[in-house]
Structures are given as structure tokens and as C-alpha cells.
Amino acid sequence: MKIPWLKIISAKNQPPTAFIVPCHEPWERPADFIRQTCLELAKSHPVWVILEPTGQFWLAAVISKLSQLIGLAKSSAPVLPTNSTQNLVFLQPLWLFPGNRWPLIHQLNQTIFLWWLKIKLNKFSVWLWIFEPNFWFYPQVISSWVNWRSLYDCVDDHSQTAPALTQQIKDQEQKLIYGVTAFVTNSQVLAQLHTPNRPPTAVVAQGFDLDLWPKKLKKLVAKTQSPIIFLAGALDDRVDWPLMSWLVKQLPQARFLLAGPVSSAAQSQLNQLWPKIPANVRFLGYLPRQKLTDWLVQAQVCLIPYRFQLPSVKHCFPMKVLEYFAFGKPVVASSISELKLYQPLVTLAKNQTDWLKALKLHLNSPWPLRLRRQQRQVAWQHRWSVKIDQILKLIL
């Protein structure tokens, strides 16, 4: 789908292209779409990642550095990610004015920082690659700059449980959608959600981390004492914890392994549901991707037990389904719209009865090799290089 305002991007004799990716979420979060995008872009283009939470008032940073040099204090500087390469640079913003908690001062500091980047990158044609609505102000700052453009890569419905916060995020996202040069979504349901405001330039499917790719299919089966039911990802309030508690009681012969950080909201629910963690449940905590594969190999069934009545779940494309597919595992998930496109590779459940029936079926019957191969093919087709190449062809 070609958009008229993108024609200017194809002009000849353009300067080399660089990308700036502002980031507010943790770099190593389970749904690491920002990290994967930056690593893929950095294979062919310079990438500067603005780590917004690490920003400091410039005078505080100077005092901290001087105190460290003369031995009065240990370094209090934020620890930056270790993925830096020649093409991938992490930036800690230095704010000119104190009081960043005030929106107007924050916007002023952002504007000054972007102007500094403009001077620094004057030899490049620059794209701002934005994932989060709270950076809605960035495209407005650069709107009149020559060779500076912006992209909103919408990978999620950013609705929250707090109504006031939800409206604020919606307002920010609407400003972002109207302000960017190009706008893509990673699913059809997200495209339908935003089309009344502005149809996306394209729908580009979710990416998959090749670091998780199992080398040989025969390694997908591992003998265990009891069947393992596996859930990986952010263990937050999107997970249907009452459902999980009920399933744990119904399937005492199975081990439920839950890998990922537990949010405070989820922990409060878990404390009520499980004053004492059941014997057949184990929380593995956050796992590096290499260790995640060790556990995933042993799973008999994988789960996506989301509260599908939440707007953020209705419009999501869970990255974990591709990870499960890569290992050829049967998947049981809540009735998420986008996952309907992947049946019968995933079984969708609408209620407790559906969940229990599907889990018992997969625990007692071997998962056909034909479906395993189809799952792995889908995962391969969704690798990050494919997604990034499709977007670059649209904008460069």
C-alpha cells in the first residue's frame, strides 16, 4: 500500500540514514520488541537509543561525576545496556532544566535534547522509530526539520486499568498517530482499532527472536517425571490468575512452570489466591533467553491465559506464541482475535471447560509432527529480519 506523503523519501542523493529509538521500557523486558528492532536495524544502519529513564539534570550529573573522581562518592550513574556496538549507541539524556516531573519543563528538555541530536547527526537522514505513546511530542519537535522523519511502530493496545491513565495514553497516542510520517501496526486487530483515526501505512506482522530457535526438531521431546505446563512472559495483571488457580487444582498430576517477572498488581492477586504456593506450581522468575529454552524444551503444553475481556488483550499479538511455535509445542490460549488466524496450530479457549478439555487432550495425546513443522515454519516466517526489511522498504 503506497502513501503519497512517503514519495519524498525515495528521492535520490539522500544522505545516509540513521535511526533514533526513544525507549522508556526496560531494555531486557520479556516482550523485547524494542531491543530486537534496534539490534536488527544496527546490522545495516547507525542506531541511537535514547534511554529516557536514565536522564539526569546536567548539573546533578556533573556533581556526581566530580564526587566520583575525587573519591567522595561511588558512581551513581545509571547502568546502561551492554549491547553497544559501532552501529548501536545508548544515550543517557542530560536535561538542561531541573523539574522534569512538570510536563512543560519535560517537553522543553526533550526539545533541547533533540536539537542537540540534530546538530550531532547533521550528516544523516534521520528516522525517529517510536513505540510508546509517551513520546508523542518528538514528531512535533522535528516536523519542520529537513531529512528528519518519524515512524510509529504500534505493537500493542496501550490501554491501562486506571481510567484516567487510559484516557491520557489514548490522547497521547492519537497525537502521535497524527504527527508521524508513517504508521504501522503488527496485527489486523490493531489496524482496525486505529483506522477511524488514521489508517496505518501497513500491517507488518510481529517479530520472532532467532536466538530461541531450536537447532534440531528431535530435541523438542524431553522425558520428565510428570507433564509440564509452561507459561513464559511478563506475569502481570493481564494473566487470568483465578483461571490459573482453578486449572492448578484440576490438574494436580501436572507441573505448572511460570517463567517471568511478577508485577506488583499480579502479586497482590497471587497472595489472595495462593497464601501458600501449591506443590505443583513453580515460579522461575526472570530467565535469560538461553535458560528459557532449557525449560521450554521440556514443556508438554504451553499457555497464554490472558483476560481476553481487557482491551489491551483483545488487540494484542502475544510474542510468546511464536516462541512456543518455534519449539513445536501445543499451545492453549485465551480467545484472542489475532490468534484465530493461526488455528489449528493454537487451541483457543473461551471458558474453564474449554481450557481443561484442551489441556487434558494435549497432555494425553502426542502433538502431530505435521503441526510441529507448520508451527516452526510460521515462526521462521516471522523472524525480526523479515519485519524490519518490510518496514524499511516502505520508508526508505
- Which own/partner contact pairs does 164-170 have at CB distance under 8 Å and 24+ positions apart? 169/133, 169/134
pLDDT: which is higher, 366 or 162: 366
Using alpha carbons only, give the angle 177, 182, 183 rounded to the nearest 5 degrees. Answer: 50
| Residue 177: inside a domain | yes
| Residue 395: inside a domain | no
Chain centroid to CA 395: how far?
22
**pLDDT above 80 for 87:** yes
For residues 251-257, average pLDDT: 97
**CB-CB contact of 362 with 339 (8 Å):** no
Question: Which uninterrupted H or E stretch holds 327?
Answer: none
Residues 40 and 78 in one domain: yes
| Lowest-confidence pick of 70-79, 267-276, 333-342, 358-367 | 70-79
Adjacent-strand bridge partners of 21: 49
- To 10 degrees, the CA torsion angle through 12, 15, 19, 20? -130
| Residue 244: inside a domain | yes
**pLDDT above 50 for 365:** yes
CA–CA separation, 143 and 47 (whole Å): 20
CA–CA separation, 98 and 106 (whole Å): 9
User: Which three cell numbers mark 284?
Assistant: 522461575
Range of the domain at 237: 210-381
Chain centroid to CA 98: how far?
31
Residues 220 and 357 in one domain: yes
Adjacent-strand bridge partners of 95: 57
| Lowest-confidence pick of 26-30, 215-219, 281-285, 387-391 | 215-219
Residues 37 and 151 in one domain: yes
**pLDDT above 90 for 60:** no
For residues 302-315, average pLDDT: 91
pLDDT the model gives residue 162: 64
388 in helix, strand or coil? helix
**CB-CB contact of 160 with 316 (8 Å):** no
CATH number assigned to the domain comprising residue 146: 3.40.50.2000
For residues 281-305, average pLDDT: 91
Strands (E), 155-313: 182-185, 202-203, 228-232, 255-259, 281-285, 301-304
CA–CA separation, 62 and 78 (whole Å): 14
CA–CA separation, 261 and 291 (whole Å): 14
**What are the tens digits of pLDDT across the range 135-182?**
999 999 999 999 999 999 999 888 766 667 788 888 999 999 999 999
CA–CA separation, 5 and 55 (whole Å): 34
| Residue 225: inside a domain | yes
Residues 229 and 343 in one domain: yes
Of 204, 227, 242, which one is at a domain's C-terminal end? 204
| Residue 109: inside a domain | yes
Please give the C-alpha separations between residue 165 and each of 16, 24, 158, 310, 350, in angstroms, as whole numbers: 39, 16, 10, 15, 29
Of 204, 238, 262, which one is at a domain's C-terminal end? 204
For residues 320-337, average pLDDT: 95
- pTM, rounded to two decimals: 0.86
Residues 195 and 290 in one domain: no
| Residue 269: inside a domain | yes
Question: Which uninterrupted H or E stretch holds 135?
Answer: none
Residues 41 and 125 in one domain: yes
User: Which three cell numbers mark 185?
Assistant: 501496526
For residues 231-258, average pLDDT: 96
Of 161, 182, 204, which one is at a domain's C-terminal end? 204
CA–CA separation, 172 and 347 (whole Å): 35
Residues 130 and 244 in one domain: no
**pLDDT above 50 for 8:** no
| Residue 84: inside a domain | yes
**pLDDT above 80 for 375:** yes
- Return all residues near 277 (Cβ < 8 A) that are at least 6 apart: 283
**pLDDT above 90 for 281:** yes
Neighbours of 175 (CB within 10 A): 15
Residues 33 and 170 in one domain: yes
Residues 10 and 48 in one domain: yes
Residues 138 and 220 in one domain: no
User: Which three cell numbers mark 375?
Assistant: 508451527
pLDDT the model gives residue 158: 81
- Return all residues near 216 (Cβ < 8 A) that are at least 6 apart: none
Residues 222 and 262 in one domain: yes
Closest of 132, 155, 159 to residue 204, by C-alpha: 155
59 in helix, strand or coil? helix
On average, the pLDDT of the chain sits at 87
Percent of the chain with pLDDT over 90: 67
**pLDDT above 60 for 214:** yes
Q: Number of folded domains in the chain? A: 2
Residues 123 and 258 in one domain: no
| Residue 291: inside a domain | yes
Please give the C-alpha separations between residue 187 and each of 23, 195, 203, in angstroms, as whole numbers: 21, 12, 6
pLDDT the model gives residue 84: 62
Adjacent-strand bridge partners of 182: 151
